[in-house]
Chains A and B, each alone.
Chain A
Amino acid sequence: MVNALTTLIVKEVKELLRDPKILVGTVLMPIIMFGILGSIFNFSIGSARESLENISIIVVNEDNGPVSSAFKNFIENYPAAKITALYVQNINLAFDELKKTNASGIILLPKGLSQNITKGIRGEIVSYILLSSLSMTEQGKASIFQSIVESFNKVLSLQIISSQIPSMDPSFVSNPIAGGYYTYFRGSVLNIPPQIVTGTLYLQIMMMPIVIMIMLFSVMTMASTSIALEKETKTLETLLTLPVNRITILIGKLSGSLFVAVLGTVAYLLGFNYYMSSLMGGFGEQQNIDLSALGINITPLGYILMGIVFFVSIVSALALAVSFSVFSEDVRSAQASMSYIFIIILIPTLVLMFVDVNALPLISQILIYLIPFTHTIVASKSIMLGEYSMVLINIGYLILFTIIVLYVAAKLFTTEKIFTAKISFKRKKLTE
């Protein structure tokens, strides 16, 4: 006997992956979509940065004093960008130049600036920033004018301090206190500010639910599509008369759709990762620290538990999808029925991303915990945080649920139900 299960799985994968809708929709689309998004982002960041590295401004020097010459000197040696300055006599000429040249804006050093500052009165430097479009480059320009003025402010301040209080270190006078920020996290003190801890946790742990959600969704879509395809193309009737155990047929379906779903998820994650790294790279100094720096180490036991949680959740999602799609006649109604089930996954995912479940009213807590996929997310978070005590309960509930849906799916598959059951999830048109 040629191996029936392998034959079934190979057929399943071929049939699904060669379907243009599935191939494009689940495998290619995420890569293409995120790829394009990421590239656009990269490109615009790149061009923005390029245009910010070489900036030309028009300086109106009405002051003609020591401060304006210090400013002139300052922008010539400005460290963050190469600034080309065009000096004009008055503001009207400056606006004329702004129209003619490709300068990004005007900096006005008003009359009496040096005088005021030597007298100890605060002076003002005025910037007129050209806004020609709503691109990221324009936003960058606005901030570059700000940082020019702020840095110059600091330089002046240090100069004033050293001339007025020569006996003291000017940097000390301007900042006599340094703040130290530590985080008390899970019973120990970390030499890391809390924002960075939450940022890291958010990225690495809160992202989990999203990844799980994508995985479950694509697994379910795939399994229900594969059942519905059999019905739509009228191949199910033949399939069920083959000399193969029906459970084998079911397992073949589940494994085949799982394989394709995993491909889809990997594509999604690759695309998403590329997109996120483009985004992060764009925003510059993102402080990334290792989870182990926070005292979070996933032990081998943790990995095993995580594997169990994932496996059981995916199997139950597959069985759930199969059980539901048995009742639909074609791919469209199968996918429509999946979108109802998907809400069941979406609710805990969203709730758990933003809210601490234990802070919810009891009734909501019970409802959320009744949804099996809540336990997937809760368990994977706990495992990452090294809190294993509750994980066994999560896994227990998931296994119980999986056994029940698998039993239902197997029953539906081994009786004539798969063949006779029909419930339409499509809305009837009014005209019909």
Chain B
Amino acid sequence: MRNITVVKPFFINNFYSMLANTFMGGLREMVAAVEVSNLIRVFGTKRAVNGLNLKVNEGEIFGLIGPNGAGKTTTLRIIATLLKPTSGNVKVFGYDVISEAENVRKLISYLPEESGAYNNLSGLEYLRFMASFYARNREEVESFVMEGAKISGLKERLSDKIKTYSKGMKRRLLVARTLMIRPKVAILDEPTSGLDVFYARYVRDEIKEYARSYGVTVLLSSHNMLEVQYLCSRVALINNGVIVEEGSPEELFRKYDSNNLEDVFIKVSKYG
């Protein structure tokens, strides 16, 4: 079960999860793409994450939504092996993020909330640099880079230095490099924050299209409810370091008698 290759046609992933969900659901438990149990992270006296539970299944686009300071970034950084949990368990495809961090890093591709790229490299050089760590040989590097170039949509600007890029162009490049290597899990922290509507729309569509066609499991965070509604098959509402509600957007709409997640969130935090 642990010999998961990074590159695998998406339909096989989907096939497995379909199989697991429909026929074998009760018989054999699938290994979750991401499984977080009783996660606590304390900074000084601040409990940034306070007993968080989360399960992301393979192949889904999962949204973590909540206001600023809710603990989204801290949670994602722990999953991405950057921070250590104070207590609790976090596993990515069965690998523990502390004791098996090196294995986890092979499966994930992480886009930090605030991220830049090396200013003195060209976009293409940057893609090649990033691809080198995931590819098994030169040919694969080049095929990753080709994909990245396509996803970014930056065309001939890719041969310019990154310092000449606008914020939106940089973000497109970064999203492209996150997805081009076809990770098992892409972790995207507020992928569209700070972008104008056009760039935000572009990035959103990039994520939706390539996550599906590559069969990449996506775990993203956002404080933009519309975005999550548009992108995600399942969402979790996070507040003060805990998940306060979870389900598909439709389920939540029904449950809270609403037609947008913003409304749901307010109802949950008021009465929940």
Do the beta carbons of A242 and B114 come within 8 Å of each other? Answer: no
Check: A245 CB closer than 8 A to any chain B CB. Answer: yes
Do the beta carbons of B115 and A238 come within 8 Å of each other? Answer: yes
Size class of the A contact interface (CB-based, 8 Å): 20 to 34
Bound complex: CA of A241 vs CA of B101, how far in Å?
9
Check: A431 CB closer than 8 A to any chain B CB. Answer: no
Check: A290 CB closer than 8 A to any chain B CB. Answer: no
Whole-angstrom distance between the Cβ of B41 and the nearest chain A Cβ: 11
Q: A240 and B82 in contact (CB under 8 A), knowing A2-B132, A2-B137?
A: yes
Residues of B within 8 A of A245 (CB): 102
Which of B109, B110, B118, B136 contacts A235 (CB under 8 A)? B118
Check: A50 CB closer than 8 A to any chain B CB. Answer: no
Bound complex: CA of A234 vs CA of B138, how far in Å?
27
- The segment from B50-58, B119-127, B149-157 that touches chain A is B119-127
- The segment from A10-18, A279-287, A303-311 that touches chain B is A10-18
Do the beta carbons of B82 and A241 come within 8 Å of each other? Answer: yes
Which of B83, B115, B118, B121 contacts A419 (CB under 8 A)? B83
Chain B 105-116 near chain A by CB (<8 Å), digits 1 or 0: 110111110111
Check: A237 CB closer than 8 A to any chain B CB. Answer: yes
Chain B 78-119 near chain A by CB (<8 Å), digits 1 or 0: 001111100000000000000000100110111110111111
Do the beta carbons of A18 and B141 come within 8 Å of each other? Answer: no
In the complex, which residues 313-335 of chain A have their Cβ closer than 8 Å to any Cβ of chain B?
Answer: none
Chain A 1-45 near chain B by CB (<8 Å), digits 1 or 0: 110100100010011001100000000000000000000000000
Q: Is the interface of B mostly helix, strand, loop or mixed?
A: loop
Check: A244 CB closer than 8 A to any chain B CB. Answer: yes
Chain A's closest residue to B111 (CB) is: A238
Which of B84, B112, B132 contacts A237 (CB under 8 A)? B112
Check: A288 CB closer than 8 A to any chain B CB. Answer: no
Residues of B within 8 A of A241 (CB): 80-82, 105, 108-110
Check: A416 CB closer than 8 A to any chain B CB. Answer: yes
Q: A15 and B120 in contact (CB under 8 A), knowing A234-B115, A237-B82?
A: yes
Greatest chain A CB density within 10 A among B82, B135, B161 is at B82
Whole-angstrom distance between the Cβ of A236 and the nearest chain B Cβ: 9
Check: A89 CB closer than 8 A to any chain B CB. Answer: no
Q: Is the interface of A mostly helix, strand, loop or mixed?
A: loop
Residues of A within 8 A of B230 (CB): none
Residues of A within 8 A of B115 (CB): 234-235, 237-238
Whole-angstrom distance between the Cβ of A331 and the nearest chain B Cβ: 12
Whole-angstrom distance between the Cβ of B171 and the nearest chain A Cβ: 12
Check: B165 CB closer than 8 A to any chain A CB. Answer: no
Q: A244 and B118 in contact (CB under 8 A), knowing A234-B112, A237-B112, A419-B82?
A: no
Chain B's closest residue to A420 (CB) is: B83
Check: B11 CB closer than 8 A to any chain A CB. Answer: no
Chain B's closest residue to A2 (CB) is: B132
Whole-angstrom distance between the Cβ of B90 and the nearest chain A Cβ: 14
Bound complex: CA of A15 vs CA of B77, how far in Å?
26
Greatest chain B CB density within 10 A among A2, A4, A19, A245 is at A2
Bound complex: CA of A241 vs CA of B120, how far in Å?
21
Bound complex: CA of A244 vs CA of B106, how far in Å?
9
Q: A233 and B119 in contact (CB under 8 A), knowing A240-B82, A416-B84, A419-B83?
A: yes
In the complex, which residues 228-273 of chain A have their Cβ closer than 8 Å to any Cβ of chain B?
Answer: 233-235, 237-238, 240-245
Residues of A within 8 A of B117 (CB): 233, 235
Q: A238 and B121 in contact (CB under 8 A), knowing A7-B132, A245-B102?
A: no
Chain A's closest residue to B79 (CB) is: A241
Do the beta carbons of A233 and B116 come within 8 Å of each other? Answer: yes
Bound complex: CA of A7 vs CA of B108, how far in Å?
20
Chain A's closest residue to B137 (CB) is: A2
Chain B's closest residue to A416 (CB) is: B83
Check: B256 CB closer than 8 A to any chain A CB. Answer: no
Residues of B within 8 A of A11 (CB): 118, 121, 129
Which of B105, B119, B141, B161 contacts A243 (CB under 8 A)? B105
Residues of A within 8 A of B132 (CB): 2, 4, 7
Residues of A within 8 A of B130 (CB): 242
Residues of A within 8 A of B133 (CB): 2, 4, 7, 242-244
Do the beta carbons of B134 and A243 come within 8 Å of each other? Answer: yes
Q: A15 and B118 in contact (CB under 8 A), knowing A2-B132, A243-B134?
A: yes
Bound complex: CA of A19 vs CA of B119, how far in Å?
9
Whole-angstrom distance between the Cβ of B134 and the nearest chain A Cβ: 7
Greatest chain B CB density within 10 A among A238, A242, A244 is at A238
Chain A's closest residue to B178 (CB) is: A238
Bound complex: CA of A234 vs CA of B109, how far in Å?
16
Bound complex: CA of A11 vs CA of B119, how far in Å?
11
Greatest chain B CB density within 10 A among A7, A234, A243 is at A243
Residues of A within 8 A of B109 (CB): 241
Whole-angstrom distance between the Cβ of A324 and the nearest chain B Cβ: 21
**19 residue pairs from A and B, CB less than 8 Å apart:** A2-B135, A2-B136, A7-B132, A14-B120, A15-B118, A15-B120, A18-B161, A233-B117, A233-B118, A235-B116, A235-B118, A237-B82, A238-B111, A241-B109, A241-B110, A242-B130, A243-B105, A244-B105, A419-B82
Instruction: Report B's interface with A, CB cutoff 8 A.
Output: 77, 80-84, 102, 105-106, 108-112, 114-121, 125, 129-130, 132-138, 141, 161
Known: A15-B119, A245-B102. 17 other contacts (CB 8 A): A1-B135, A1-B136, A11-B118, A18-B121, A233-B118, A234-B114, A235-B118, A237-B77, A237-B112, A237-B115, A238-B110, A241-B81, A241-B105, A241-B108, A241-B109, A243-B102, A416-B83
